[in-house]
């Protein structure tokens, strides 16, 4: 048996091994160390789940009723298979995309999410700043925990969009729209699928209602996440910041504010009031998209609210092609609900969309690492999208749209 001695092994050149193997530097920052171990959005989700109390994580992660729509949304993207072209020079793919009078470096928009500072104190401002570093639009929700004015001041250079829920108080609707216009928000996104609130089963089970009705299991989850609560305690109180006259308004009270009586006449009135670009969020299918265009919308956003409103609703990805045919080649079509990978963005574009909109994907990053976590989520999606284009033999987003029908087969 060969003897081990003198730090050498017979027949092995340790110097050559040393040149091939490099020890990874030890990262002392805990957040950077966590994020370095996240290689896709699934990893960010797993990290977020470990760090966040169950009621808060489920508020982001859950859907309505049996969560059938939420599951189907993912399947609608992942059932497609690519048939790539080969022997194409893809050394410098162009990932930029024109969208509503701007050219984005990536066909991606950060959508609106409510109660974002409950998820992490960085909240809407942290998300908007991350979006700005990538040159992407950020959409502030009506139900945000940062006001229209505060976000505009903190993220002045970001392409800011404002999402409006049509409320029963028409004067409040007008006030919100006028405030967004005065603060330089470029696009108004009107959500039309919330005439009543969806039944979020996980929130009910976890007791995340007002007043809280927490279970023993929920309390145990909260107690086991001291880092989360230390961040919350060091941060300003959370409220619905866009309702200055309703500081005591609760989550359940906001659902009573939604108007179940909205019609296309309300959209026409908003179109007259809002001079910027108008997106109607929530049409599912060709008929709704055509009606939105007739009402003056510059874009339609195919959405089932991420599976958080009407369960068993059709997945938006399945409707892209028919909506594109209905509205024509020049009208903007956005798609959300179920996007977790750069390949999902590519699939949406190949089917006929102009851009994808994300919510949970960046919220997992926010939970996992605050603002740097959102950066990580965007970096992952951008890298995945670019690589997908290259492996498809596609040199640009325009090329992807032009040849999309040749590149996809259905599983």
Give catalytic residue positions. 305
CA angle, residues 25, 30, 33, in degrees to nearest 5: 45
Phi, psi of 272 (to 5 degrees): -70, -35
My answer on whether omega of the bond before 326 falls inside 30° of 0, hence cis, is no
Give the Å distances, CA to CA, from 37 to 28, 131, 378, 389: 14, 22, 15, 25
Can you tell me the distance from the alpha carbon of 169 to that of 180, in angstroms, rounded to the nearest whole number?
A: 17
Burial class (CB in 10 A: 0-12, 13-18, 19+), 222: middle
Residue 133 dihedral angles phi and psi, to the nearest 5°: -65, -25
Question: Per the structure block, which two tokens stand in for 196?
Answer: 């009543």
Provide the β-strand partners of residue 409: 81
- What DSSP assignment string belongs to 79-141? TEEE----S---SS-B--EEETTEEESSSEEE---SSHHHH-TTHHHHHHHHHHHTT--EEE-
How many Å apart are CA 48 and CA 30, to the nearest integer? 14
Nearest one of 388, 401, 398 to 82, comparing CA atoms: 388
* Nearest CA-CA partner of 152 in 120, 122, 124, 174: 124
List residues bridging with 272 in a β-sheet.
none
Token pair for residue 97?
A: 């995309």
Task: Return d(Cα 204, Cα 241) in angstroms, integer.
Answer: 24
Please answer whether residues 178 and 153 qualify as being in contact, where contact means their C-beta atoms are separated by less than 8 angstroms.
no
Q: Are 213 and 207 in contact (CB under 8 A)?
A: yes
């Amino acid at each position: 048996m060969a003897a081990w001695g003198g730090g050498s092994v017979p027949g092995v050149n340790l110097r050559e091994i040393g040149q091939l193997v490099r020890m990874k530097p030890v990262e002392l920052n805990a957040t950077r160390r966590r994020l370095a171990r996240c290689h896709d959005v699934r990893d960010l989700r797993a990290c977020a789940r470990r760090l966040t109390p169950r009621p808060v994580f489920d508020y982001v992660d859950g859907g309505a009723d049996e969560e059938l729509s939420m599951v189907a949304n993912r399947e609608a993207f992942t059932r497609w298979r690519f048939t790539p072209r080969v022997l194409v020079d893809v050394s410098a793919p162009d990932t930029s995309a024109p969208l509503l009078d701007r050219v984005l470096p990536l066909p991606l928009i950060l959508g609106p999410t409510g109660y974002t500072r409950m998820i992490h104190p960085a909240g809407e401002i942290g998300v908007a700043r991350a979006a700005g570093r990538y040159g992407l639009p950020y959409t502030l929700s009506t139900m945000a925990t940062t006001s229209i004015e505060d976000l505009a001041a903190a993220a002045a250079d970001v392409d800011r969009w404002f999402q409006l829920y049509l409320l029963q108080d028409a004067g409040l609707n007008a006030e919100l729209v006028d405030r967004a216009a005065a603060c330089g928000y470029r696009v108004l996104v009107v959500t039309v699928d919330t005439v009543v609130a969806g039944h979020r089963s996980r929130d009910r089970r976890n007791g995340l209602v007002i007043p809280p009705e927490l279970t023993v299991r929920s309390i145990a989850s909260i107690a086991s996440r001291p880092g989360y609560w230390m961040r919350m305690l060091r941060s300003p109180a959370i409220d619905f910041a866009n309702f200055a006259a309703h500081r005591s308004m609760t989550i359940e009270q906001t659902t009573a504010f939604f108007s179940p009586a909205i019609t296309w006449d309300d959209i026409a009135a908003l179109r007259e009031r809002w001079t910027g670009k108008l997106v109607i969020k929530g049409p599912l299918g060709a008929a709704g998209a055509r009606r939105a265009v007739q009402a003056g919308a510059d874009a339609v956003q195919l959405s089932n609210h991420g599976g958080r409103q009407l369960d068993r609703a059709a997945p938006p990805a399945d409707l892209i092609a028919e909506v594109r045919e209905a509205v024509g080649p020049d009208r903007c079509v956005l798609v959300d609900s179920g996007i977790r990978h750069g390949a999902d963005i590519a699939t949406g574009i190949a089917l006929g969309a102009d851009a994808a909109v994300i919510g949970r994907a960046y919220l997992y990053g926010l939970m996992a690492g605050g603002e740097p976590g959102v950066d990580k989520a965007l970096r992952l999606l951008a890298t995945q999208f670019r690589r997908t284009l290259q492996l498809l033999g596609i040199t640009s987003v325009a090329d992807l749209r032009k040849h999309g029908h040749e590149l996809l087969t259905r599983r």
